[in-house]
Amino acid sequence: MKKTECTWYDRKRHLGLPISFTKYYIFEDRFFNETGFFTTNIEEILLYRIRDISVQINLWQKIFGVGTIVLISSDKTMPSLEVKNIKNPRGVKEIMHQEIERMKDSKRIRVGEILDGHDNCDLDQYEGEEEN
């Protein structure tokens, strides 16, 4: 059985210190969000389902050297996830981006952008015309 390695790990931080029961980690093909002390909940998102990553850093987060990463995914149970108050959010975003791209390449997944839910074919121009 193949043993997978943890690519990245951190805890949600308060005042810059990792004194929280919320843990975030990336294994080979999944992102995990673990919360709780008495009752532990573990949510996961397959990396190839993550469609967008953004970083948000407010003034207090700048003071304590942390930030928030927002993940938007095509996962039904967790379409968006805020990875709050983590150390080095810009570097972590780059790690996530590289891992997501690696997984999409390995699974040969590429999603084209859809503009307004329509394709470029204009069917209105054919209305009223009859074939002879």
Q: What is the 3-state secondary structure (H, E, C) of 45-113?
A: EEHHHEEEEEEECCHHHHHHCEEEEEEEECCCCCCEEEEEEEECHHHHHHHHHHHHHHHHHHHCCCCCC
Per-residue model confidence (pLDDT) at position 130 = 46
Q: Name 15's Cβ contacts closer than 8 Å, sequence gap at least 6.
A: 64
- Identify the helix (H) or strand (E) that includes residue 42: strand 41-46
Phi-psi region of 131 (alpha: psi -120 to 50; beta: other; left: phi over 0): beta
Output the average pLDDT for the chain.
84
- The answer to whether the CB of 15 falls within 8 A of the CB of 71 is no
Share of the chain above pLDDT 70, in %: 80
Per-residue model confidence (pLDDT) at position 112 = 54
- Top-confidence residue, 61 or 4: 61
109 confidence band (pLDDT: 50, 70, 90): confident
Is residue 31 scored above 90 in pLDDT? yes
Per-residue pLDDT, averaged over 14-28, amounts to 93
Per-residue model confidence (pLDDT) at position 123 = 42
Is residue 78 scored above 80 in pLDDT? yes
86 confidence band (pLDDT: 50, 70, 90): very high
